[in-house]
């Protein structure tokens, strides 16, 4: 793993951890307030936004670690030529999906205009910015991990098969 990839990984881990801790603190505070007979009017919206942000940053981290669901059994059972084709086809499909979703998220941001959250004066464009940002981070993570994944899934398995 390169130094730049390691820094990117640590940044994603830090942001994800920060979002998780913030979400946990807000949920605990909301429970305490409700137990005391009061309630935080902004809790539901902010918790939902934080969960969405955590999901997008976490998915980028999972992409960097290649920890999303996959079908490596199909890949490993194929010949070397088919492994290469399947690997690159899946990469192209992933980039296409991420590109379309990232563009759609960017497009949606323009629709919100001056709308804000119901409970707080936070623009929806700020809370929903995670969609294009998350997909951009996912694409960067996917790109940063492609070489290693190719070596591990396609080339390394071929060399280990030759040794048996």
Segment 98-111, tens digit of pLDDT: 999 999 999 998 88
pLDDT over threshold 90, residue 113: no
- Give first-to-last CA distance, the chain, whole Å: 28
pLDDT over threshold 70, residue 159: no
**Residues counted in the chain:** 164
The pLDDT, as a whole number, for residue 78 is 87
> Using one digit for the tens of pLDDT, what is the confidence trace for 35-89?
999 999 999 999 999 999 999 999 999 999 999 877 788 888 888 899 999 999 9
Closest C-alpha among 27, 14, 26, 117 to residue 60: 14
Longest dimension (CA), the chain: 69
Q: How many domains does the chain have?
A: 1
CA 90 – CA 32 distance, rounded (Å): 47
Give the global pTM: 0.86
Domain assignment of residue 134, given as a range: 3-163
Segment holding 17, helix H or strand E: helix 3-35
More confident residue, 160 or 93: 93
Residue 98 near residue 138 (C-beta atoms within 8 A): yes
């Amino acid at each position: 793993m390169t130094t730049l990839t390691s820094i990117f990984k640590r940044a994603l881990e830090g942001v994800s951890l920060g979002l998780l801790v913030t979400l946990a603190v807000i949920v605990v505070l909301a429970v305490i307030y409700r137990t005391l007979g009061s309630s935080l009017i902004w809790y539901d919206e902010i918790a939902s936004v934080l969960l969405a942000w955590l999901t997008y940053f976490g998915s980028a981290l999972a992409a960097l670690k290649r920890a999303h669901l996959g079908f490596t059994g199909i890949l490993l059972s194929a010949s070397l030529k088919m492994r290469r084709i399947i690997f690159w086809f899946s990469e192209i499909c992933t980039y296409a999906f991420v590109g379309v979703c990232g563009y759609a998220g960017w497009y949606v941001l323009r629709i919100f205009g001056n709308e804000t959250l119901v409970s707080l004066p936070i623009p929806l464009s700020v809370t929903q910015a995670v969609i294009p940002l998350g997909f951009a981070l996912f694409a960067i993570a996917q790109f940063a991990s492609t070489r290693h994944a190719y070596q591990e899934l396609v080339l390394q398995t071929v060399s280990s098969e030759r040794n048996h």
